[in-house]
Amino acid sequence: MKNIIKDLIRKSLYKINKDKSILIENIEVNLCKDKKFGDFSSNIAMKYSNQYKTNPKDLAKEIIKGIEKNENIVKVEIAGPGFINFFVSKGSQFSVITQILNEKNLFGKNEIGANLNVLIEFVSANPTGPLHVGHGRGAAYGDCLSNLFKESGYNVSKEYYVNDAGKQIDILTLSVLQRYHQLIDESINLDYEDLYKGDYVWDIAAEVHRNNNTKFFIKDLNNLYNSDLDTYILNVKNNLSQEKFKKIKSTSVDFILDNIKKTLNISGVDFDSWFSESTLVTNNDLKDIINYLNKNNFTYEKDKALWFKSMDLGDEKDRVLVKENKDHTYLSTDIAYHNNKIKRKFDHVINIWGADHHGYIPRINGAFNIFSKGKSKLTILLVQFANLYRGKDKVSMSTRSGEFVTLEQLLKEVGKDATRFFYLARKADQHMDFDIELAKSNNSNNPVYYVQYAHARICSIFKQSKENNMDFKFNKKFLELLAEEEELNIVKKLSYYPEVIKKSALRYEPHLLTNYMKELAQEIHSYYNKSQILVEDEELRNARLSLIEACRYVFLNSSKIIGISMPEKM
RNA sequence: GCGCCUGUAGCUCAUUUGGAUAGAGCAUCGGAUUUCUAAUCCGAGGGUAGUAGGUUCGAAUCCUACCAGGCGCGCCA
């Protein structure tokens, strides 16, 4: 309908002045909030009155004069400072019900991403501990975005980048070794700063011990200690042997990854691929990009380290790729990783990061452009951390100290549906406060129940209709009988649905969809309280059933995208 | 100090990328079930959109300055 109106305006404008014709993309038509302004309105006259050297109202009059007759449009009028308001015929409004009942699960799909491959990388938490509530937000966001892209026709691959190389993992390994030693000999006291202290470290140590007994025991572990962590790690590696250290390392990483996968599974998030950082080192991808950068003058040596000239690419300073001790930095493998993404020929590469990584964007963007040469587009989306509260007390979150609420705990306390909906109900780049007490103590406060209840009510009506031999029969002609204000509101809302999907996908904003669901639910609850659906009049009854059946499909389709269940009974 | 993000009702957030009278939920107060589920509905109160300027037909939205908060500024990841 919107497009029909846009086209009518375009044609009218063309009549007025052929030379200055305006592209259809520049014509805005919006749904009206207030029905006294009609169904759709356009601001075109106000926007372009300057260009046409006239005032908005006169231009609006001219445009209206030139608008062709159309069976769907009942009335066109000027209002306010120059809005052109369109009143649409009932029949054309109700056609969306027929459309939904025909398309069913396909209603809302669009093709803006047809033939485009998109890679969306998210969560990618270091395998040094369980996922916490911050990761949960990124997980829900990335997963929902993927669904929105799929609904919009893209080929989507979801990937988790596993940082299984580097210093943090060595520190984890060391932490496990310490606990392992303490398990064997309680008199050993090895509580050093900078090591991971969560209970899960004990669990890993116990598993190592169960499977290997004292195989990894170092008698004088205490003597290997050095306040410089790198030295300490090196000492342990040399004493234990590189191979044994690696064994503990992979056991630890596997243990934690299993736990992460389990938690994601509970969240309803699954990945198409798990990309291991260490493979970039073993398969020469890392060497290749460093050679390439060297050859093409993107690097230099200083203080025995190799530097990346990221300043030339918009970063605030240059960054180290290879450290003085010849270890590679996280950045260097990350560049190799992004080059790998480009080699896999994705049209669009999307990264979802925690907002604390925002300073990292310029250097990755710069590197990405070097390798993609315009063939692939990179978008980095930031997710703000969720501040967790227990009542009024802010819960401090530190992976190191082990004092944090895990995502698994949150899911257990609040439930998958509520957790996902809550995470997605606000803009990703907005800070959010999550009060566990509130979420726990009063479930009805949670909007997800409100939406689910609306759906359950619809299902209940259909159940009732069958029990009373009032089986639903669809007939397009009956729709004309819908005349209640609530019915018209709902129909309008339904026609807006495909646009919400498009908009949420293009703007990376799933909260638009959760908002929409809340609004539709609200319309339905109002309607339900005001009007009886299962009335004696068979035609009116079926018209009303058609309407709520259409709503039911929209709830089903949208809940699938958000990743929550839609129970038929509550 | 520099950079990025944010500031909307007592609280948590929206506001369809610049539109018409800034809206919901929670909380407070008052109403609604002999009728499809009261996890619901209807109504009331509650606002200098951080502050001050600017841009234009029109600003919560864009620009500038200031104020407040968050994050970042490693040869950590």
Do A99 and A215 share a structural domain?
Answer: no
Q: Residue A561: name the closest of A151, A272, A112 by CA.
A: A151
CA of A544 to C1' of B62 (A): 45
> What does the pLDDT look like over A286-319, one tens digit per residue?
999 999 999 999 999 999 999 999 999 989 899 9
**With a 7 Å cutoff on the CB, does A443 touch strand B?**
yes
Q: Is the dihedral of CA A239, A244, A250, A251 positive or negative?
A: negative
> Which nucleotide is closest to the Cα of A78 by its C1'?
B20
Give a yes or no: residue A346 inside a domain: no
Q: What is residue A398's DSSP assignment?
A: B
Residue nearest to nucleotide B35 (CA to C1'): A532
Domain endpoint, select from A72, A88, A104: A88
Q: Which of residues 293-352 of A touch strand B (CB under 7 A)?
A: 302-305, 316-317, 319-320, 323-325, 327, 329-331
Look at chain A and report how many structural domains it folds into. 3
- Residue A147 CB-half CA count within 13 A: 23
**With a 7 Å cutoff on the CB, does A450 touch strand B?**
yes
Give a yes or no: residue A146 inside a domain: yes
Do A194 and A151 share a structural domain?
Answer: yes
Report the CATH number that the domain containing residue A28 is assigned in CATH: 3.30.1360.70
> What is residue A503's predicted lDDT score, i.e. its pLDDT?
92
CA of A465 to C1' of B3 (A): 62
Q: Residue A335: name the closest of A314, A352, A353, A320 by CA.
A: A320
DSSP H or E run through A340: helix A330-343
CA of A8 to C1' of B57 (A): 24
Q: Which of residues 263-292 of A touch strand B (CB under 7 A)?
A: 277
> What is residue A20's predicted lDDT score, i.e. its pLDDT?
60
> What does the pLDDT look like over A537-549, one tens digit per residue?
999 999 999 999 9
**With a 7 Å cutoff on the CB, does A31 touch strand B?**
yes
Do A146 and A74 share a structural domain?
Answer: no
Do A494 and A557 share a structural domain?
Answer: yes
Give a yes or no: residue A329 inside a domain: no
Cβ atoms of A505 and A148 within 8 Å: the answer is yes
Do A228 and A171 share a structural domain?
Answer: yes
CA of A26 to C1' of B31 (A): 49
> What does the pLDDT look like over A417-445, one tens digit per residue?
988 998 898 888 888 877 776 666 555 66
Report the CATH number that the domain containing residue A205 is assigned in CATH: 3.40.50.620
**With a 7 Å cutoff on the CB, does A493 touch strand B?**
no
CA of A136 to C1' of B34 (A): 48
> Could you give the ipTM of this predicted complex?
0.94
CA distances from A519 to A104, A522, A529 (A): 20, 5, 16
Coil, strand, or helix at residue A104? helix
> Which nucleotide is closest to the Cα of A31 by its C1'?
B16
> Which nucleotide is closest to the Cα of A317 by its C1'?
B73
Do A229 and A158 share a structural domain?
Answer: yes
> What positions of strand B are covered by protein, i.e. any atom < 7 Å from a CB?
2-7, 11-21, 24-27, 32, 35-37, 39-42, 57-58, 69-77
Do A131 and A34 share a structural domain?
Answer: no
Instruction: Report d(CA A420, CA A411) in Å as an integer.
Output: 9
Give a yes or no: residue A508 inside a domain: yes
Domain endpoint, select from A442, A470, A489: A442
**With a 7 Å cutoff on the CB, does A32 touch strand B?**
yes
The tens place of each residue's pLDDT in chain A, 570 residues long, gives 888 898 888 888 888 876 666 777 778 888 887 778 888 999 988 888 877 778 888 888 888 988 888 888 999 999 888 899 999 888 888 999 999 999 999 999 999 999 999 999 999 999 999 998 889 999 999 999 999 999 999 999 999 999 998 888 999 999 999 999 999 887 777 667 778 888 899 999 999 999 998 899 888 888 888 878 888 899 999 999 999 999 999 999 999 999 999 999 999 999 999 999 999 999 999 999 999 999 999 999 999 999 999 999 989 899 999 999 899 999 999 999 999 999 999 999 999 999 889 999 999 999 999 999 989 999 999 998 777 777 666 676 665 555 678 899 889 888 899 889 988 988 888 888 777 766 665 556 678 889 999 999 999 999 999 999 999 999 999 999 998 889 998 999 999 999 999 999 999 999 999 999 999 999 999 999 999 999 999 999 999 999 999 999 999 999 999 999 999 998
> What is residue A403's predicted lDDT score, i.e. its pLDDT?
61
> What is residue A436's predicted lDDT score, i.e. its pLDDT?
74
> What is residue A506's predicted lDDT score, i.e. its pLDDT?
92
Do A243 and A128 share a structural domain?
Answer: yes
Cβ atoms of A137 and A368 within 8 Å: the answer is no
Residue nearest to nucleotide B11 (CA to C1'): A433
> What is residue A191's predicted lDDT score, i.e. its pLDDT?
66
CA of A383 to C1' of B6 (A): 13
> Which nucleotide is closest to the Cα of A321 by its C1'?
B75
CA of A134 to C1' of B45 (A): 37
Residue nearest to nucleotide B70 (CA to C1'): A431
Q: Which of residues 198-257 of A touch strand B (CB under 7 A)?
A: none
Give a yes or no: residue A251 inside a domain: yes
Do A505 and A424 share a structural domain?
Answer: no
Instruction: Please calculate the CA angle A444-A445-A449 and round it to the nearest 5 degrees.
Output: 50
Report the CATH number that the domain containing residue A493 is assigned in CATH: 1.10.730.10
Do A184 and A78 share a structural domain?
Answer: no
Do A55 and A195 share a structural domain?
Answer: no
Q: Which of residues 123-182 of A touch strand B (CB under 7 A)?
A: 126, 163, 166-168
3 state SS for A210-245: HHHCCCCCCCCHHHHCCCCHHHHHHHHHHHHCHHHH
Q: Which of residues 382-401 of A touch strand B (CB under 7 A)?
A: 384-385
Give a yes or no: residue A184 inside a domain: yes
Give a yes or no: residue A12 inside a domain: yes
Do A161 and A269 share a structural domain?
Answer: yes
**With a 7 Å cutoff on the CB, does A81 touch strand B?**
yes
CA of A382 to C1' of B54 (A): 31
CA of A418 to C1' of B74 (A): 39
DSSP H or E run through A497: helix A485-506
Both tokens assigned to A51: 């260009």
Other CB atoms closer than 10 Å to residue A136's CB: what's the count?
Answer: 27
**With a 7 Å cutoff on the CB, does A540 touch strand B?**
no
CA of A43 to C1' of B19 (A): 8
**With a 7 Å cutoff on the CB, does A65 touch strand B?**
no
**With a 7 Å cutoff on the CB, does A104 touch strand B?**
no
**With a 7 Å cutoff on the CB, does A6 touch strand B?**
no
Give a yes or no: residue A569 inside a domain: no
Domain hosting residue A159, numbered range = 122-276+384-442
